[in-house]
A and B are shown apart, each in its own frame.
Chain A
Amino acid sequence: MSEEKGWREIPRGGMILEPGNARKYETGSWRTFKPVVDFNKCIHCLFCWIYCPESAIIVKENKMSGFDLAHCKGCGICAKECPKKAIEMVKEEK
């Protein structure tokens, strides 16, 4: 998460003046379970990419290639929707 600012520094009225800066808010810290993919089972159908509410599925050359753990909240929707049960939710170790 970006550094918290004091009241003198924040924009008037809490306005957001920079579009797309929500990506600076790293919701990955909310996670209790993290997704782990088994590429032996994955068929790259990209259902996980379609369903992920945080756009946290990383796709390279049209193939599922992992998770953006800085933003993944660990909701488990990808694991639930995966038709091949290739994603497992594993408890985060401290």
Chain B
Amino acid sequence: MPKIIARTGDDAVAEAMRQINPDVVVAYPITPQTEIVQFFSEFVAQGRVKTEFICPESEHSAMSACIGASAAGGRVMTATSSQGLAYMWELLYIASSYRLPIVMPVVNRALSGPINIHCDHSDTMGARDSGWIQIFSENVQESYDNTIQAIRIAEHKDVLLPVMVTLDGFIISHAMERFEMLDDEVVQRFTGEYKPEYSLLDKEHPITYGPLQLFDYYMEQKRQQHEVMKSVAGIVLEVAKDFEKISKRKYGLFEEYKMDDAELGIVVLGSSAGTAKTVVDMLRKEGVRAGLLKIRVFRPFPAAEIASSLSHLKAIAVLDRSDTFGGLGGPVFEEICGALFNYQFPDGCRIPVVNYIYGLGGRDINLDHIKKVYMDLAEIVQTGKIKELVQYLGVRE
């Protein structure tokens, strides 16, 4: 029977890692991910996992060792945040191009500078083109559930790609919530045993990872990487279906909240989706047809499915917890605009889409902020005019 307990996000993710019982964990502590490594190292000390736990001198070394261990055929995990993820940068691309199924919870924290330890999505959004699958979580439960599902997605024979599972720094990582922990045996049956097709340690079948590829083969390699990402969505849904059987919780590529008859819609990811759902409920009571779309899988981006889900709205606001400084707007906004531009509207209609940058460096986002966004959308529908395409939410002028 699942246990209902109160846990922080970091604690819940560490429990997921304990249940997954990876062959190798190489991790360097960084706020606000620290407790994941701390709790997991306790499990190692108590002998509750059989994991080879390596404490490297940096995140660069952590990801390097993960790559080596994964190429050797192990089930491998690590975790990081912000500067730690930035310090892994060059290895992120190597892990994905070698097709190594490493699973990494990333506790979202703003990138320096100025130095800041609180939540925004600039760290993982910066890594969005690194070839990793990216799954965002709304709360403690989802952080735990996504971590477990990520193992199956990463190691699927048609995928074999590394996965980042994100949880918002402090808001999820350090806040205690009600959460249901599955039984150890149930999780272990779900994740199964990882049987790698190749191993660097298999001396009967010697292989080479990462040979030099110049103008003659590099482009074919990248084309292959592009292609495999296309098959990920189907596997994510397949794994979600299996996970529902053990947890009774449904997961998709994204979640629609009161979208069926909605006119005004917000697109958001991470913990702010919870705040926005409360606002949707409040507005519904006032007769406003508000809806919400929460992106779960940001990479690969389910463009056609999301555009289809948004296609009946009268106005859309995209909330971005990071900026692109010189791009059209935030990274989620750009994806949504691209998705809608390429969607085949039967009547050729064009929905106004606006962008709000919010919550940078842990800046609070509250009900009033989100309510204002819906009110702005109502005004856009009424006047047919967009006053400002990209705005900052909750910044002092």
Chain A residues in the interface with B (C-beta under 8 A): 4-8, 10, 12-17, 19
- In the complex, how many residue pairs between chain A and chain B have their CB atoms under 8 Å apart? 45
Q: How far is the CB of B283 from chain A (nearest CB, A)?
A: 48
Tell which of A6, A12, A16 touches B99, judged by Cβ atoms closer than 8 Å: A12
When A and B form their complex, which 3 residue pairs have the shortest distance between CB atoms, in order from nearest? Answer: A13-B99, A16-B208, A7-B220
Tell me the bound Cα distance from A19 to B98 in angstroms. 18
Q: Are A6 and B220 in touch, CB under 8 angstroms?
A: yes
| B207→A14 contact, CB < 8 A | no
Tell me how far the C-beta of A6 lies from the nearest C-beta in chain B, rounded to whole angstroms.
Answer: 7
Q: How many residues of B contact A (CB 8 A)?
A: 21
For residue A17, which residues in chain B have a CB less than 8 angstroms away from its CB? 198, 205, 207
* In the complex with contacts A4-B216, A14-B97, A14-B211, A19-B206 CB distance below 8 A: yes
Q: With A and B bound together, what is the CA distance between A12 and B213 in angstroms? A: 13
- Within the complex, the shortest CB–CB distance from A84 to chain B, in Å, comes to 36
Among A8, A12, A14, the residue within 8 A (CB) of B217 is A14
Which residue on A lies nearest to B224, using beta carbons?
A7
Which chain B residues lie closer than 8 Å to A8 at the CB level? 224
CB distance from B190 to the nearest CB of A (A): 25
Q: How far is the CA of A10 from the CA of B216 in the complex (A)?
A: 12
CA distance A17 to B209 in the complex (A): 9
Q: Is the CB of A15 within 8 A of B220?
A: no
On chain B, the residues within 8 Å of A13 by CB distance are 97-100, 160, 209, 221
CA distance A19 to B209 in the complex (A): 12
Q: How far is the CB of B141 from chain A (nearest CB, A)?
A: 34
Q: Which residues of A contact B216 (CB under 8 A)?
A: 4
What residue of chain B has the Cβ atom nearest to residue A12's Cβ?
Answer: B99
Q: How far is the CA of A13 from the CA of B227 in the complex (A)?
A: 12
Q: Which residue of B lies closest to A17 (CB)?
A: B207
CA distance A19 to B160 in the complex (A): 23
User: What are 15 pairs between A and B in contact, CB < 8 Å?
Assistant: A4-B216, A6-B220, A7-B220, A7-B227, A10-B221, A10-B224, A12-B99, A12-B160, A12-B224, A13-B209, A14-B98, A14-B217, A15-B98, A19-B206, A19-B207
- 0/1 string, B199-238, CB within 8 A of A gives 1: 0000001111111010011001101100100000000000
* B160, B211, B224: the one within 8 Å of A16 (CB): B211
Q: How many whole Å from B249's CB to the nearest CB in chain A?
A: 32
Contact yes or no, B210 A14, CB < 8 A: yes
Q: What's the least CB distance linking B176 to chain A, in Å? A: 41
Most B Cβ at <10 Å: residue of A6, A14, A16, A19: A14
Residue of A nearest to B223 (CB): A7
A17 and B223 CA atoms in complex are apart in Å by 20
By the criterion CB–CB under 8 Å, are A16 and B217 in contact? Answer: no
